[in-house]
Amino acid sequence: MSEIRLYVSTTEKQAEEILDLLGEVFGEEDFAIGTTEIDEKKDIWEASVYMMAEDEADVRSRVEAALSQAFPDAALSREVIPDVDWVSKSLEGLRPVRAGRFLVHGSHDRDKVRIGDIAIEIDAGQAFGTGHHGTTAGCLEVIDRVLRARKVRNALDLGTGSGVLAIAVRKLRNIPVLATDIDPIAVRVAAENVRRNGIASGISMVTAPGFHSTAFSEHGPFDLIIANILARPLIRMAPQLVTNLAPGGSVILSGILASQRWKVIAAYSGAKLRHVRTIWRNGWVTIHLDRP
């Protein structure tokens, strides 16, 4: 079954507004939405929703109805996604990404590392997290801020993907990091990326869905918990996550659309965490909270 992308080409500002609208239209349904920069100088962006071909008629009618009211001049385009490895394909030739003191780059861009950079090498692979997505870059920026501002003795990277965030923590601080993911392939990829980045010890990789593993009690409670997942599971696991957070600890949450941020903040405020800041990247937000 083919995958279909419906998209609107527009400015960055309007792309983010359309992304918020799509978030309201689809809520917690399993349709991927996002924004992509096409031409920085001309301020051309695309706001997209992805679906399988069998869902196209329903999705198109809902998107068109929403756009006709809020953005009547927006032209909806359609693209059939070829059945290729788009993770590898889309990352070919991508430029290095700077976030805080970090430079995330592929092996072909090692010469772009400057004095003072904290370089993390991540190539295209089977796990999410190269620094190019707004959620990953946002987490890196907040990790840098948190580790500058306070003492952290241990950390948890929940839903580690490529391992980039666990690697970032370990490169900044010589502390133990537990990195978990529900996908065993992601755990294997992350372990390889850890080795590729010259980290011989200090990061423990575990395959675990949510908090269902003895690894959390063995390594926790944690001074820093990073969870770059999605809004719905983040809201659902708020009580468990806070249970594994040490007093005075910090939490960094991402994988959250701008339109979903208040629901996530409300869930964690209800679990007695304090909202510190929210940063925005390409229609996505990263939320920093702490436990007073």
Query: pLDDT for 156-167, tens place per residue?
Result: 999 998 899 999
Q: Are residues 184 and 265 in the same domain?
A: yes
Burial annotation 164-180 (CB, 10 A radius, 16+ → b, else e): bbbbbbbbbbebbbbbb
Whether residues 143 and 280 fall in one domain: yes
179: nearest Cα among 145, 136, 222: 222
Closest CA to 140 of 170, 161, 164: 164
Phi, psi of 101 (to 5 degrees): -85, 0
Element (H, E) at 34: strand 32-39
Please tell me the predicted confidence (pLDDT) of residue 289: 96
Could you tell me if residue 261 is inside a domain?
A: yes
| pTM attached to this predicted model | 0.67
User: What's the CATH number where 275 sits?
Assistant: 3.40.50.150
Q: Taken in order 36, 38, 40, 41, is the CA torsion positive or negative?
A: negative
pLDDT digits (tens, 9 = 90+) for 225-265: 999 988 888 999 999 999 999 999 999 999 888 888 899 99
Proportion of the chain above pLDDT 90, given as a percent: 43
Q: How confident is the model at residue 19 (pLDDT cuts 50, 70, 90)?
A: confident
Token reading at 196: 């590729």
The answer, yes or no, to whether residue 275 has pLDDT greater than 50, is: yes
- The answer on pLDDT for 1 being more than 60 is no
The boundaries of the domain holding residue 16 are 3-83
Q: Render pLDDT for 49-93 as a digit per residue (tens, 0 to 9).
A: 888 888 889 999 999 999 999 999 999 999 887 654 444 444 454
Clarify whether residues 200 and 263 are in a common domain: yes
What rounded mean pLDDT belongs to the chain? 85
Residue 285 lies in a domain: yes
pLDDT of 207 over the 50 cut: yes
pLDDT at 90: 44
Residue type, position 190, single letter: A
Split into its structural domains, the chain has a count of 2
DSSP 125-191: -SSS--S-SHHHHHHHHHHHHHHHHS--S-EEEES-TTSHHHHHHHHH----EEEEES-HHHHHHHH
Under 8 Å between Cβ of 195 and 162: no
Which pLDDT does position 132 carry in this prediction?
45
Q: Is residue 32 part of a domain?
A: yes
Q: Are 94 and 106 in contact (CB under 8 A)?
A: yes
Q: 161 and 74 in one domain? A: no
Quick: pLDDT tens for 165-195: 999 999 999 999 999 988 888 888 899 999 9
pLDDT band per the 50, 70, 90 thresholds, residue 130: very low
pLDDT score for 133: 56
Looking at residue 64, its pLDDT comes to 94
Asked, for residue 97, whether it belongs to a domain, the answer is no
Q: How many helices (H) and strands (E) does the chain have?
A: 10, 14
- Domain finish residue from 52, 83, 114: 83
Same-domain pairing of 133 and 264: yes
Q: How far apart are CA 281 and CA 285, in angstroms?
A: 6
DSSP state of 110: G
**Domain-terminating residue out of 51, 83, 115:** 83
Q: Is 123 domain-assigned?
A: no
Choose one of 59, 83, 107: the last residue of a domain. 83
Say whether pLDDT at 95 is over 90: no
Q: Which two tokens stand for residue 254?
A: 């991402």
The separation between CA 125 and the C-alpha centre of its own chain, rounded to angstroms, equals: 16
